[in-house]
Amino acid sequence: MPPPGLVVREASLTFGDRPLFRALQARFDAGSWTCLLGRSGSGKSSLLRMIASLRLPDNHHLELDTSDGAPLRGRLAWMAQHDLLVPWHRVIGNVMLSAHWRGRPTAQDRQRAERLLAQVGLTDKASRWPDELSGGQRQRVALARTLFEDASIVLMDEPFSAVDAITRLELHDLASRLLDGRTVIMVTHDPLEALRLADRILILQGEPARLVSMPVPEGRRPRPLDSRELSHRQAELVAELREVTHG
């Protein structure tokens, strides 16, 4: 089944009595990877939570359409900044966490979880406890758990921000390959990450904020670090992000 695109309309969020954004529109194309950037407190994570219909303490509103008209429910996977591995399941159990939580994992669930662990290169850690893994390994397990949902829409909230720089680059390559063909919306505060991975970059800027589309380098993702265009675009993006607070 091809992944659906998403259209967000009339998105508004109020923090206390300060409106962060009002009547925001955005289109997320089917099968494309969109990165959502913005300074801390711009409401980018909240926007993502609203799309995922997760709980928010602040006053908010959002209308959401899918390109195929079918509801979003059951077609969505969520990956957060923290790996959210549960300590009471082993690594393999964490990959198929949704099967555990919905009932009892079947033999097929287990096989699929093993295949995904192999794809993220952690076959030998299957029966370890999460606490025995490094931060990068844990985030790879989280990626495998996200893939286990086999969702056509993947929402990620700063998924690689808690690991070191080298691990982050490796995770980019892995995620880009494994999430190919899905509709991905990823919130990040790292311009470089956005430039390597995104088909489209949106910046949440201003008060109340609007979504501004930024140019993306040529070439297939994950784009190599040594590309001249990438560093050029990075300078541009950083300048734009700085403007948000000073302008």
Partner 1 sequence: MAERRAWKRWVRPLLALAVLVAIWQLVLTLTGVPRYILPSPAAVASALIEQRELLARHAAITAIEIVAGLIGGILLGLTTALALARFRALRRTLLPLLLISQAIPLFALAPILMLWLGYGLGPKILMAMVIIYFPVASTGYDGLRQTPQGWLDLARTFGLSRRQRLLKAQLPAALPSLASGLRMAASAAPIGAVIGEWVGSSQGLGYLMLNANARLQIDLMFAALVVLVIFAVLLYFGVDAALRAAMPWQQDRMTPDQ
Contact residues for partner 1, defined by CB under 8 A: 49, 52-55, 73-74, 76-78, 80, 82, 84, 86-88, 97-98, 100-102, 129-132, 149
Instruction: Give the residue with the Cβ less far from partner 1, 142 or 216.
Output: 142
Phi, psi of 229 (to 5 degrees): -65, -35
Instruction: Give the residue with the Cβ less far from partner 1, 72 or 169.
Output: 72
Integer Cα distance of 246 and 227 in angstroms: 29
Residue 213 pairs with which residues in a beta bridge? 202
Smallest gap from residue 44 Cβ to partner 1 (A): 16
Instruction: Give the residue with the Cβ less far from partner 1, 73 or 228.
Output: 73
DSSP string, 42-96: SSHHHHHHHHTT---SSEEEEEEEETT-S--TTSEEEE-SS----TTS-HHHHHT
Smallest gap from residue 195 Cβ to partner 1 (A): 27
Residue 79 pairs with which residues in a beta bridge? 156
Smallest gap from residue 85 Cβ to partner 1 (A): 10
- Residue 165 has what DSSP assignment? H
Quick one: tokens of 150?
């086999």
Instruction: Give the residue with the Cβ less far from partner 1, 148 or 214.
Output: 148
Are the beta carbons of 42 and 20 closer than 8 angstroms? yes
Phi, psi of 12 (to 5 degrees): -140, 150
Residue 188: Cβ-neighbour burial (10 angstroms; 0-12, 13-18, 19+): buried
Instruction: Give the residue with the Cβ less far from partner 1, 55 or 220.
Output: 55
Smallest gap from residue 109 Cβ to partner 1 (A): 13
Integer Cα distance of 217 and 97 in angstroms: 37
Smallest gap from residue 27 Cβ to partner 1 (A): 22
Instruction: Give the residue with the Cβ less far from partner 1, 89 or 210.
Output: 89
Smallest gap from residue 31 Cβ to partner 1 (A): 20
